[in-house]
Structure formats: structure tokens, C-alpha cells
Structure 1
């Protein structure tokens, strides 16, 4: 019963964290951490999750969703700098930070030092988005950060897994580590792709023959990341990479689904469910971090008391030294990556200068968050011989401290640096959007024309079908006309007309909804009818928001 009550308190903290963050203008993760600490201090109850269970509950769905929703074209466009940050920077961070931790804390074995460095290497774009809510990060920069996080989650966690294995056995062989990493990566990716492809094909086959069950479709999408993760773990491959690959594969299967494509109702409801899952999972991780901070601090104090530096203030020295090292390593690597990749020009002439401000933004945006906490909590309690894992509690405290300090630092500095930031010009997608709308409208015209004639043949009133089809076709002809204007002034006027139409349609839809609610309150229409009509209006509104 205590576990259920504590879980409900954690969920309540996630719910109220949003309004508190908006009222206080404090970054959402920091609010959630504070609420978690408040819960444990007021109730005295903590949630002690087994590491493997914690890992399974939170990471697969979050990584799956990131892979599913990230724009694939943007991911491939900036693939060079993303790979440099996600792979090269991870290795650079593990080596540089691992050596520092091992040198700075003699009581921490080298394997644990490198494991801590590995789990501190992944970044968290969700925390960055929350911090930059008042000063939005430019779209291209955010896509680069998302792509980096998508890949460095897997590489950092895989590196931690190798280090923990070395810590447990006391043996590290480079060739075996490379072979193990290759198997973890290749088998993990292959498992995620195969599992998602098979489930998607089976689901589409059933839906074509016996219809689509919206609830079942949503549940299947929730099961896929866990299925991919568990299947990969059974093969001793990387479940993290399997979840990432499953998400990316899900995006491609949805885009190329053809006749097996899900219904519109399924997609709308599924998106809402996944939004709730993402919000709850990310929020719970930060609340749990705050909820465990008092006990983490107590255990770390006991650990440091038995070392060569028993003063408690050394904990703060360790945390700030790690944060500073992470910032320096990331700044150096980002500067080199931007200079070599992002600003590289195909045409002749001098390459643009890499601004220190842009480099600082990219460096500060490397905030540690949910993945770091989830990963460090999976460190086993004991070694292979049954003895306690050395410096485990200290490593957890240092990871938690780095998360909090990096969040506070980014909260203070990032919005200021983002104001007026200059990036290379992003390609405009307006012409692509116009071409897509024209092509879709042309296809709709042909389909409506054919269908209206086919439906009217052999009926007593064929003109009715032609009249209705003509009204619908007029809408599509207007769309084609406004999107095929070549003059800049005409195109700008067309876009202005679209904005005016959007505002007026939203006004009309709001009026419809208010009137339906008034009729329902007055019992002039029944509640079920009102709910149905309001849902239709809500779905129409989705086109304009």
C-alpha cells in the first residue's frame, strides 16, 4: 500500500510541476526534482526500484519515441556533425573524463570511473527544450541536438555496460571489447528493425482483413519498444539500440504503410497517448531523482568519510570539477565539429567563421538528464564474486549532482545566449509545402470527379452527386490557384489569406463548440450527441493549430 501511495504522490508531482514551472518561470526538470525531494521529506517513503526494472520501464519507450518522431530528412542532412557529436564526442568524453575521475578520486576503481564518464556522456534534449521554453532554440540546432541525443544515448549506455562488465570481472581486453561492442550494436539494431517490421506487417495484414481496432493499435505501439528491447537482451545485444532502431523503423513503416496505413482516428488518439507517456515518463524520472536525493546524499557522505578526503565539501568539488571538465571537452569538440562540418561550404571562397557564441550555446545545450539518471541507477549492487560494487553510491551522487548543476547552469545562461543567435540560413520548405499541397489537391480533384460520376450513375438524381462533387472540387481548385502563383507579392498575399482564413475558422469552430455546450446544458440535445459533434469540431481544429 505504501508503494502505491508513493507512486500516486510521484504522479501528482508530475501533474502539478507544469503549472508551478509556468508560474515561477523555473525550468520544469528543476521543479520536478524539488517536488520529488519534498515528497520524501514529508512522507519518509522512497521508491527503491531494481536497476533492471527501472531501465526497462523508462528507457525503451522514451528512446523509441525519439527515434519515431525525429525528422528523418533533417537527421540525414546533418548526419556528419550528429555522428561527430554522438560517437566521437562520447569516446572523447569517456577517455578524458574517465582519466580525470580516476585521478581525482583514488578510491574509485578505474572501471567505475570510466563507467561514470560513459553514463555522463549522453545529453538530454527534453531538459533543453524545457529550459529554452521562453527563448526557443532554432529548429536546425534543435534537430542536431535531438539526433545527437538519439545516438549518444545508445553509445554512452553501451560504453557504461562494457565498463561495468570490466569492473565486475576485473578484466578488460581491447579486442574483446571491440568485438562485444560490434555485436551489441549490430545485433541490437537488427533486432529492433526486424521486430518492428514483423509486428507492423502482421498488424497491417490483420487490419486489412478484419478491420482495425483503435485500442489494440495503440496498445501494439506501446508494446513494440519493450518487445524490441527484451528480444535484444535475450540475444545479449543492446536493448537500447534495439529501441532506437525500432522507433526509426516505425517512422518509415508508418510513412510507407500503403494500404496498411493506420486510420486517422488511430493516429490522433495514438499521438495523444504517446504524448502522455512521454510527459509522465520524463517527469517521473526527474521526480524520482529528487525523491532519492536525500538518501543519495546520506550514502555518499558515508562513502566519502572513509576516503583520503573525508570532508563533505569535497563532494561539491568533485561535482563542479566534473561539470567544468564536461563543458571544456564539449566546447572543444563542438568548436572543431562546427568548424569542419556545419559551416563547410561547397562553393569556393573562405569558410565562415565559427562564432564562440554558437559554440557556447551548443556546449551548454549538452544538459544531462533522464538518461544519465536511469543509466547510473542500473549499476549493479555487487560484483561477479558477490562483493559490493565499489563506489556505487558515490557514483550515483556524482551523476545526480552533475544533472542538477548542468540544469541550473543552462537555465541561467542558455536563454541569454540564445537571444539573437546567428545560425547558417536554413533551407525554406515553403516551395516543397506548396508543391505537396498542389499535388494532393490535384489527386483529390481526380478522385472526387471520378467518384461523383460513379456514384450518380443509375440513380434517380445524378445531378445531386455532381453538385456536391462540384462544391468540394471548388475548394481544391482554390487551393491549387493560391499555391501556383509565381510572383512573390501574390505568394505573400496567398499566405496572408491563409492566416486570415485560419483565424476566422478557429473563431467559427470555437463558437460552434460553445453553442453545442450551451444546448447540452439546456438539455436541448443529449450528452452523447454533443460529445460526438464536439469531437468532430476538435478534429477539424487540429488542421489549424
Structure 2
């Protein structure tokens, strides 16, 4: 149960952060997550919490690295292999050597292997943290790609270096040849296991895909288990589990490219699930960092002011050294890919700037803290020397790197170019839906089918969930059009064509019903008020039936027959009026829809953004018309899926025309294309479910 409570609290922290960040949009999300984690550390479950590295690596880092591997194509890895090796291995090892020598020089009581252990801990970088802190600015593409490629494998480099340093501390000796051999075994072995396991799993998945009717029920669970199985398998052979899951992810990317549009349902579902898992795990990483900080703070308190100031100075010095190594490497590296990333030939000033951005973007995250906590309590039958100091320095470097990036990058980098605003998206979506609704009205003969499709299309606007201020903004136009439409109906009722077709009794009865329609905003009363009105009406209804002895259905039927027998002439007359009302109601529906369609068409032709009130009025009169039709037991029509496909095609056509003529930017068109595609998929799924239940 403790594990369940822990997971629930972490998820609550993620949810809470998503709510909090709406009120503090300028604060980078990682800092909000860390603060939430600090607050969670005061709960009973997380008191005296200490990060378990093995659990963290297996349950969080492994799936994240597997997903990162899936984003990298094999052809790209092959093309960029040299720069990946330089970034993830050469740069990481060079950084570790420089940091180790500085730490050994400053802290003279630390042995060189101990200093190298610290250096290995602070080697891994966190590209996700950089993305989170630069979400509002435009990160240069070359630098962004370099950071992604660097973080893809340097976690494994840091782990191997740490393992090597701990081995030297335990054995008391170092062999260069043995060290290189161990490094190659762990790295190459992990990658090889990942590739072999990846191809085996891909073969299994491919056979299942082509040999079963519903492959997603098997494929997706296999996909979710893959990073854990591969990581555990690689670690059990003494190789790098991180490199193994990255390699497996790359193989799975190859599988996706091979399948292309085959088994799209499996691929779409899998991508959606993995994207959600990735977002949650990336948030949990920073929450765990926040939860771990109070433990580090307790270590700091025990060291005293002089001790902590000394470690703070060492942390700042190490950070400056890492910045210098990264800057010099980016500025001096003559690799072809590096030249492309950092623009080394065309513009020297830009080259220096990009090198600076790359250096400052070397943010360290929870991976560094997990490696620090992985230091054993004892080594070579003795207490691990200066373990608390190493953890404190690693934590300080994490915080310094995050703060420096959060402060400098938003200042140094330009703001992201905004091609469209939220208002532009909403206005274009509204016009798209209204355009499709008009086309449906023109091409669909059955009023009930037309109304059902238009209601579904209008739900794409999301205006039923709109806030109260927006409703008040529309209330004046809404009331005006409601009043205008009511006058339009009355004028139509007294037209020559209607008076010739229907009796005066039918017209008078319909007009009396119409006059009961309140000319007030539908949104004027709260849901609670409308509920009380409903309860009051039901009470009067029940009271009348009790008073007249018509409680049960049998009693009510008997009462109706008795009344019909005693008033045969009146009953026949009322039946005729009912039939006339139904026919007249259908005619009025057609006229009102045509009237509102003309208003909406004129609004779209004049490129007016504010025509939401027309939808409000249409909804109000639809309720009025349905009130009459329900008295005659009108059933909800069955709608063919082809009609929905046609309706969504109208939306596609509108966006395509608006995009090709330059009315909306391509980025906005892409968002709406995706919305239409998702809406169509959902609608067809619901239709299939209904058909399956009715069959």
C-alpha cells in the first residue's frame, strides 16, 4: 500500500503543478515541480525520503530513455555517429577529467578516484529541463539538436565512469587497459543487448500485427514492458541498461518507419499512451528532486557554515569549469556536424554566441542526484569517505545550473515568433464549424438528421463550457436575435401561405405556445435555479394527478379514455389540432433554420468574428421545437457515418481554402487539421460502439 500511496501523491503533485503553473506562467515549470516536491516531502510517506537509484533508473529513467531512442532514426544515428560519440563520450570524459582534477586540487583530503566519482556524477545533462525552461524563447535548432544527442548517451557515460571510480576506490589500484576494457564491455555490451532484444521484440510485434484481428491488446502491453525488460536484462549481464533501452528505442523507430501506414490504430494508440507517460514521468523526475532536497538540507545543517561555504565555492568553481570545457569544445571542435550545429564558418560572432548558449544549456537534473545517492554507505569494509559532501556538491551544482539557465537563456535568446494567438485559433475554429454547419444544412434533407449533425459540429467550439463573462458578453446580441426570430415566426404564422394551409385554431394554438417562450438569456439562471424550477413544475404535475386520482399509469390511461368518451367531439378536434401543430412545427423549423443560416452566412461573408450568439439562439429554438416534437414521441434518428465524414470534409475544405489563400498561417491550419482528424476518429468510434450495442 505504501507504493500505491507514493504513486498517488506523485500524481497529485503533477496535477497540482499543472493547475499552479496557470497562475505563474513566467516561472519555469521545473521550479514549480521542485517546490511542489518540497511540500510533498512534509507528508508522512515522504518524510526522511532518500532516492533509491535502482528503482529510479528502472521505473523512470529507463522508459524515458526508451522514448528518447524512439525519437531518433537509425539513419540519423548513423549520419551523426561521430558527433554523438564526441558529445556523449569524449566531451563527457574530458569534463569528468577537468572536474576531477579541480576537485582533487581544492579538496586536498579527497583522493583522485573520489574526485573522479564526483565528476562522473555531474557529467549527465538534462535536455528536458532545458526545453522546459526555454519554452517561451526560440532555441537555435543546431544547439537544440546537439543537446538532445548529448543527453541521449552521456547518462550511460557518467554511470560507467562512476562504476570505474568506485572500482578503483574498492580495489585501491587503477589499470588503464582494464578501465578501457571495462568501459567498452559495459557500453558496447549494453548497446548490443539492446539491439538484439529490440529486433526480437520487433519481430514478435510485427507477427502479431499481421496475424491477429485486434493486435493493440497485445502490442501495447509489450511496448509498455519493453524498457523494463531490456534494462533488467542488460543490467543482469553487467552491461549498461541505459544504453540498452536507448538502442532498443532506436530499433523500434525503425519498426515504425517500416510499418508506415500499416496498423495505424496500434501506432496512434501507442504514441498517445507513450506521450502521456513521458509527460507524467518528466514531471515526476523534478518532483522527486524536490522531495530529496530536505534530506540534503539536513546534511548541510550538520556541516556548519564554514563547511557549506567551502562546498558552495567548490560547486561554483566546478560549474564554471564545466561551462568553460563545453564552450571551448563547441568553439574549437572542427567536426562537420559540430560546424553545422554551431555555425562555425559563416559568422564568427554567431559561432561564439551559439557556443555560449550550448555551454550554458548544460543543465543537470535528477539523474545526477540519483547517481549521488547511489554511492554506497561502505566501501572496502570502511565507511564511504565524504559521501554526504559529494551529495551536497551534486545538489548545489544541479541548482546552480538550473538557475543560471533559467536566468540567462530567456535574456540571451529571442522570444518565440507567435504566428497566431489563442483568439485567432478560437475565431477560426468557430468559422470553420459554422461553415460546415451551413453546408450540412444545404445538403441534408432530413431535418432531424441535419439538426443532430449540426449539434455535434457545434460541440467542437466548446462554448457550452464557456465562462460566465463570455455569456454575458453575448447576452445583448442573443436577446436581440431571440426577439427578432420570435417576431419572424409570428410574421410567418400570419403569412398567406400558412393561413391557407392551416386552420386558425392550429395557428392560434402554435402562437400561444410561442408566447410562452421567455425572451431572456438561457444563461441568465444558474443550473441550481433551473433545477429548482424543474422540481417545482414536477411537484405541481404530481399534485394535480394525485388530486384527480390518476397516480399510476393505468389510472391515467383510464382517465384519458373516460374524458375522450365524454367529449368525443372535443377529442377529435384536439387530435386534429395536434396533427396540425406537428406539421406546422416542421414548416416553422425549416423557415427558422433558413433564417438563421442566412444571418450566419452573411456574418461569415463579412468576416465577422462575433457570431456565437447565433448558435445560442439556434440552440434555444431547438429546445422549443423539440418540446413540441417530444409530445409526439419523435425518436432520435439513426445517422449514417458517411454523413459525418462529409461534414468533417466541409471543415477540411474551409481550412484548406483559408490556408492556401493566406488567411490563416500554416501552423494554425495544422492545429485545426489535427482537431478535425481527432473529432472524426472519435465520432466514428462512437457510431461503431452504438451499432455494436444495437446489433
Task: Give the structure-1-normalised TM-score.
Answer: 0.73
- Tell me the residue number matched to 1:419: 414
SS at 1:256's partner residue?
helix
Return the match for 2:319 from 317, 323, 326: 323
- Tell me the residue number matched to 2:180: 178
Taking the aligned partners of 1:102 and 1:88, their CA distance within structure 2 comes to 21
- Tell me the residue number matched to 2:379: 383
* 1:256-287: CA deviation from partner (whole Å, max 9, x where unpaired): 247xx862222122112212222222222211
- Tell me the residue number matched to 1:41: 42
Q: Structure 1 residue 393 and structure 2 residue 391: aligned? A: no
- The answer to whether the Cα contact below 8 Å between 1:89 and 1:330 also exists between their aligned partners in 2 is yes
Q: Structure 1 residue 53 and structure 2 residue 49: aligned? A: no
Distance 1:57 1:169, change over 3 A: farther
Distance 1:58 1:234, change over 3 A: same
Task: Give the C-alpha shift of residue 174 in structure 1.
Answer: 0.8
Distance 1:195 1:80, change over 3 A: closer
Distance 1:155 1:207, change over 3 A: same
- Tell me the residue number matched to 1:89: 91
Taking the aligned partners of 1:34 and 1:501, their CA distance within structure 2 comes to 37
Task: Give the C-alpha shift of residue 75 in structure 1.
Answer: 4.7
Distance 1:120 1:529, change over 3 A: same
- The answer to whether the Cα contact below 8 Å between 2:88 and 2:151 also exists between their aligned partners in 1 is yes
Task: Give the C-alpha shift of residue 42 in structure 1.
Answer: 5.3
- The answer to whether the Cα contact below 8 Å between 2:209 and 2:263 also exists between their aligned partners in 1 is no
Distance 1:384 1:59, change over 3 A: farther
* 1:1-36: CA deviation from partner (whole Å, max 9, x where unpaired): 555434422221122223333432211111111111
* 1:192-245: CA deviation from partner (whole Å, max 9, x where unpaired): 000111111122223322334313211111211122212212221111211111
Counting only pairs closer than 5 Å after superposition, residues 350-365 of structure 1 correspond to structure 2 as 352-353=347-348, 355-365=351-361
- The answer to whether the Cα contact below 8 Å between 2:138 and 2:415 also exists between their aligned partners in 1 is no
* 1:309-344: CA deviation from partner (whole Å, max 9, x where unpaired): 953322322222222221122111121127875337
- Tell me the residue number matched to 1:461: none
- The answer to whether the Cα contact below 8 Å between 2:49 and 2:295 also exists between their aligned partners in 1 is no
Q: Structure 1 residue 373 and structure 2 residue 373: aligned? A: no
Task: Give the structure-2-normalised TM-score.
Answer: 0.58
- Tell me the residue number matched to 1:342: 338
Count of residues paired in the alignment: 451
- Tell me the residue number matched to 2:21: 21
Return the match for 1:124 from 123, 126, 129: 126
- Tell me the residue number matched to 2:229: 227
* 1:373-420: CA deviation from partner (whole Å, max 9, x where unpaired): 2322322222143x3222222212211211111111101111221218
Task: Give the C-alpha shift of residue 113 in structure 1.
Answer: 1.5
Most deviating of 394-403 and 76-85:
76-85
Distance 1:217 1:344, change over 3 A: closer
- The answer to whether the Cα contact below 8 Å between 1:114 and 1:163 also exists between their aligned partners in 2 is yes
- The answer to whether the Cα contact below 8 Å between 2:372 and 2:391 also exists between their aligned partners in 1 is yes
- Tell me the residue number matched to 1:135: 137
Taking the aligned partners of 2:239 and 2:102, their CA distance within structure 1 comes to 30
- The answer to whether the Cα contact below 8 Å between 2:187 and 2:239 also exists between their aligned partners in 1 is yes
CA root-mean-square deviation: 3.7
SS at 2:379's partner residue?
coil
- The answer to whether the Cα contact below 8 Å between 1:6 and 1:47 also exists between their aligned partners in 2 is no
- Tell me the residue number matched to 2:593: none
Task: Give the C-alpha shift of residue 505 in structure 1.
Answer: 5.9
- Structure 1: unaligned runs, 5 residues or longer: 422-467, 483-490, 517-526, 534-545
- Tell me the residue number matched to 1:243: 245
- The answer to whether the Cα contact below 8 Å between 2:333 and 2:339 also exists between their aligned partners in 1 is no
Taking the aligned partners of 2:17 and 2:672, their CA distance within structure 1 comes to 34
Distance 1:205 1:176, change over 3 A: same
* 1:492-525: CA deviation from partner (whole Å, max 9, x where unpaired): 86997977976876787899899x8xxxxxxxxx
- The answer to whether the Cα contact below 8 Å between 1:285 and 1:374 also exists between their aligned partners in 2 is no
- Tell me the residue number matched to 1:70: 72
- Tell me the residue number matched to 1:290: 290
SS at 1:333's partner residue?
helix
- The answer to whether the Cα contact below 8 Å between 1:62 and 1:278 also exists between their aligned partners in 2 is yes
